[in-house]
Amino acid sequence: MPTYIADSSVFILGMPLPNRIITTPDVLLELKDMQSRMAFEAAVDSNVNVVVEAPLPHLVDEVSSHARVTGDCERLSDTDIGLLAKTLEYNGILYTDDYAIQNVAGSIGIRTEPVVQKHIKERFEWGWRCVGCGRKFEGGDSEQECPVCGSRLVGYRKSRRKLR
């Protein structure tokens, strides 16, 4: 039986859960409203086995590296990276509606299942382009300004590939 990893949207939307769910402590911090906290507590109190574990640091580094390659590093929060790392650790299935998470997950070979939204239909690689001189820079963490002319950098889609 596969292991399921839950993003905060699972609890925020109060979705039905399989028998075993793993999430991270950072996800619990994202559950700020009463309804999502109650959905989490209901899952814990029901027959669902909910486990909260921190991601392994070396897998966080690995996921961050993949996110830099795809150019999604700026689009992912620490919580997102931790969820991807936890899913990688268990070779599990990640419940998420976040398209940047799905994009990176696909590049690593992690299977995702949407919560409410549809799966992504295309996988992107992102880069950075200077608004002043037009130079392009590879994915990774954005510099706030161009190292050549000092103008600001904006994201652009380097490549896209249709899925399914």
Q: What is the residue extent of each domain of the chain?
A: 4-113, 122-162
pLDDT of residue 147: 84
Mean pLDDT of the region 46-67: 90
Instruction: Tell me what pLDDT residue 103 has.
Output: 85
> Taking 60 as the threshold, does the pLDDT of residue 164 lie above it?
no
How confident is the model over 104-110, as a mean pLDDT? 90
Mean pLDDT score of the chain, rounded to an integer? 84
Q: How confident is the model at residue 153 (pLDDT cuts 50, 70, 90)?
A: confident
Superfamily (CATH) of domain 4-113: 5'-nuclease (3.40.50.1010)
Percent of the chain with pLDDT over 70: 87
Give the pLDDT of residue 139: 56
Alpha-helix residue ranges (DSSP H) falling in the chain: 8-12, 25-30, 34-45, 57-70, 78-90, 99-108
Q: What is the pTM of this model?
A: 0.75
- CA-to-CA separations, 73 to 23, 40, 97, 124, in angstroms, rounded: 21, 28, 17, 13
